[in-house]
Structure 1
Amino acid sequence: MKTLYLLLIFVCALTPYSYSAANSEYFFQQIPQDYKEFKGKVVNFDNGDLIASAHLSINGTNISTITNNDGKFLLKVPENTAPATVKISYLGYLSKNLPLSYFKAENTLITLEPIVEELASVEIYEAKDARRLVGKMLRKKGDNYIDKPTRMTAFYREAISKGRRNVSLSEAVVKIYKKPYTAYGEEDIELVKARKTADYDRLDTLALKLRGGPFNTLFIDVIKYTDYLFYDNDLDHYEFSFDDPTQIDDRYLYVVNFEDQNKNMPWFFGKLYIDAKTQSLVRARIHLNVDNRKAATDMFVNKKPGGTRVYPIEVEYDIDYHQQDGKWYFGYSNARLLFVVNWKRKLFNSRYQVNSEMAVTNWQGAFEERIKKDNHFLDKRTVMVDDVSGFTDSKFWGSNNIIEPDKSIQNAIDKIQKNLQ
């Protein structure tokens, strides 16, 4: 994903948070809408294991949310919503529809049953050539994905940790001006609300800054930005093979393994989950092999202090698509990068992990493709930890749907808030 290159900036220290005072009122304004808030968790019916990244959506609307790494969710619904049904789905599990009346303000428990059907023998699987299937998937994006300009509301979170401790957290509600999947050109992101914090006691003298902010997760949309993964759209550069099929939302999915044949530079490999009926990409799991440390460092590290060696050891990207009215659209993406920092005169190294994720929580139909931009629109060089405001009250997000904070993240936030009191 070439647009994700040069995303990380290493600097000698983080500075206290700052943002433009002219924009502060814009960041803190509340949306004047009454809403109900529901919290709970999604677990495996068989063993009680938590299910991360399960999708919850209100049928007949574009409102949705995602479970966090602890399997927990937070769903906000307008007060005037008529009796509704919530659909809960996750790859490899039977989907479930529950009335909104089932949900409680706290401790709503939802169980999903794993799919036990032996899919390898299902007759619907007729594809014999994995490369041809992927080619057909790419050619049909105009038929399968949203074909009109769409304004999406999304929640973005960027967490940086050192070892097992979170040291920096940025969050934002953004508007994505999404172009049709057949249109050329990059998309725009408008900042609606944002906040950030940092645990300076844990940063030592080196800290990570992620350049690009929400654009990093937007560009993981491989159907829109195909050439960032399959460069020049030439599938001959890759090897493809079938894995065991699976199922989601009563849909049978091909699972295709792919691997770049050019191993001279950091190279991509992973899995594509393709709907057997429509040849739509439903999910992708992408890894970047970074065994070539020098090339990987040149790809990601923009600046670093003298006397240090900095290189990535794990790079992973995830993308999920959701369906509405027969069309698929970008729904959730995640980027996880693990870095090692070796100091010249220190015995032990440091490990930093950067997690950034974005979930679409609502969207509206067509807008004018030529939008009027102001200073709330983000630049692709945005560094969220520098460019947004500090943490504030628990009602900061108003009626915006967000991803419930992970337990470890929430602990980090609580600690910093206590220090500020």
Structure 2
Amino acid sequence: MNNFIKISHQKVLTIWLFMFFMLCSDISLSAKNMFQNPEMNQNFKEFTGIVIDSKTKETLAFATINVLDTNISTITNSDGEFLLKVPNAFVDNDMHISFLGYQSKIIPLSSLNGEDIHILLEESAMQLSEIKINAPKDAKSLVKAALDKKGEHNFTEETMLTAFYRETIKKRRRDASLSEAVVEIYRQPSTSSKGDKIKLIKARKSTDYSRLDTLAVKLQGGPYSAIYADIIKYPQFIFNEHTLEDYEFSFDKPTEINNRSVYVVKFKQRPEIMDPMHFGKLYIDAETFSLISAIYNLNVENKEKAAELFVKKKPNRVTVYPTEAAYRVDYRLKDNKWHYGYSNIQLTFKVNWKGRLFNSIYTLSSEMAVTDWSKVMNDDPSRRETLRPTVILSEEASGFSDPRFWGEYNIIEPEKSIESAIEKINKHLEKRQNNS
């Protein structure tokens, strides 16, 4: 029975609390326990490049890149850049590139030199009449049909996903903190009452608390925040059988992904609903009615109520409220089923101190990309090995190291601004070590 039946909007949304951010007093910067780069034989080949719109020449962020006939994949960063590590056994396979609203492309890896790869994708659009007309009678019925496809989005048995997770903090436009991790997600099938588990494999961080004034901003929930953005497996955070009635749904212009016709459904809360709810677009496969992507925001017009959903702890003389809460989740097609593949969360907060003339604006971002998966053979991690759902990643990691730190693990290529911030922070850490 649904545990979320007959509870208010406020309580439904409050469940997000443990997966987001809290404010607390300052934490001193430490350069101890720096990770050392392990010596290892390179048994893989790296492919680096950029994905671009063929007409506008604009870069395409969040494009999916995977190696066909394998579970290996990655995602482009906000600059459209990617880094894909392919084991030597698969360097003769093809690379598949897809992006929402564009025609997908397949390229033999053997035809690429491994560096400075430019991939041009062509935009794809169609009229609603061009796609199948066996859809439910209205947009709301289509959304219900997509949510009912829960079993088709999940594996039928427990599966271990390997994923790369990153969370960043910016003060206005300046990078202040970066934490990264490779994790294993023990994904439970939809028929199981067990919750998903996450095991930390590798982690590192760089933080310059001098840029955070006397306030430290933390992401509570860490990697769990990313998997809870999966609205198919965890619909209770946005849509359940009661809150679904408080949304308005309408069709938008259809599109295409992976050369498949896609319905686009817009949704927003009804005008008489005063509690903060979500608005955005759902991308639903026209043939299977499976949700393949969702891009949405939380309505933060009511500052006080929106703040209650995120801020767990703060000094009394500080007022904190969100100005933006944006989410994205993408699913990937594998064996004719759509599975969770990527999620992105971006929160922007305004911080006002009593007695100060100017306020501070912080942007906190987290993203996770599934880079591989395999079936679990009765080797669940112990409770001691898994992360708590209330974990704060930056407290589980220590120090930073060179890019080879990750070895053969696939990661999301960092943005240039983040690379620059890491370089400056590393110099700061080295200076502190030399002076100590």
Partners of 2:161 and 2:372 within 8 A in 1? yes
TM-superposed CA distance for 1:305, in Å, is 1.4
Aligned to 1:349: 359
Partner of 2:390: helix, strand, or coil? coil
Q: Does 1:359 align with 2:372?
A: no
Q: Does 1:106 align with 2:119?
A: no
TM-superposed CA distance for 1:186, in Å, is 2.2
Partners of 2:199 and 2:381 within 8 A in 1? no
Deviations along 1:24-67, whole A, 9 cap, x unmatched?
99x97678761111111001111210000000000000000000
Partner of 1:70: helix, strand, or coil? coil
Count residues in correspondence.
415
Going from structure 1 to structure 2, the CA distance change for 1:62 and 1:346 (only over 3 Å counts) comes to same
Q: How many Å separate the matches in 1 of 2:40 and 2:279?
A: 42
TM-superposed CA distance for 1:268, in Å, is 1.1
Aligned to 1:3: 15
Query: TM-score when scaled to structure 1?
Result: 0.93
Q: How does 1:3-402 map to 2 (within 5 A)?
A: 3-6=15-18, 7-17=20-30, 34-115=43-124, 117-127=125-135, 128-232=137-241, 235-261=244-270, 263-368=273-378, 371-402=380-411
Going from structure 1 to structure 2, the CA distance change for 1:76 and 1:238 (only over 3 Å counts) comes to same
Going from structure 1 to structure 2, the CA distance change for 1:186 and 1:29 (only over 3 Å counts) comes to farther
Letter in 1 for 2:312: N
Aligned to 2:10: none
Query: TM-score when scaled to structure 2?
Result: 0.90
Partner of 1:3: helix, strand, or coil? helix
Partner of 2:255: helix, strand, or coil? strand
Q: Structure 1 stretch 199-208 or stretch 83-92: which is displaced more?
A: 199-208
Partners of 2:152 and 2:338 within 8 A in 1? no
Partner of 1:161: helix, strand, or coil? strand
Letter in 2 for 1:111: L
Supply the RMSD in Å over aligned alpha carbons: 2.1
TM-superposed CA distance for 1:18, in Å, is 7.8
Letter in 2 for 1:61: T
Partners of 2:31 and 2:429 within 8 A in 1? no
Q: How many Å separate the matches in 2 of 1:130 and 1:367?
A: 41
What residue ranges of structure 2 are gaps of 5+ in the alignment?
A: 1-12, 431-436
TM-superposed CA distance for 1:376, in Å, is 3.3
TM-superposed CA distance for 1:11, in Å, is 1.6
Partners of 1:281 and 1:321 within 8 A in 2? yes
Letter in 2 for 1:133: L
Letter in 2 for 1:122: E
Letter in 2 for 1:11: C
Partners of 1:44 and 1:111 within 8 A in 2? yes
Partners of 1:30 and 1:398 within 8 A in 2? no
Partner of 2:90: helix, strand, or coil? coil
Going from structure 1 to structure 2, the CA distance change for 1:43 and 1:291 (only over 3 Å counts) comes to same
Partners of 1:17 and 1:386 within 8 A in 2? no
Q: Identity, % of aligned pairs?
A: 45
Letter in 2 for 1:171: E
Letter in 2 for 1:9: M
Letter in 1 for 2:129: S
Going from structure 1 to structure 2, the CA distance change for 1:28 and 1:230 (only over 3 Å counts) comes to farther
TM-superposed CA distance for 1:120, in Å, is 2.6
Partner of 1:395: helix, strand, or coil? helix
Q: How many Å separate the matches in 1 of 2:414 and 2:131?
A: 42
Q: Structure 1 stretch 175-184 or stretch 265-274: which is displaced more?
A: 175-184
Partner of 1:241: helix, strand, or coil? strand
Going from structure 1 to structure 2, the CA distance change for 1:17 and 1:172 (only over 3 Å counts) comes to farther
Going from structure 1 to structure 2, the CA distance change for 1:28 and 1:183 (only over 3 Å counts) comes to farther
Q: How many Å separate the matches in 2 of 1:187 and 1:29?
A: 30
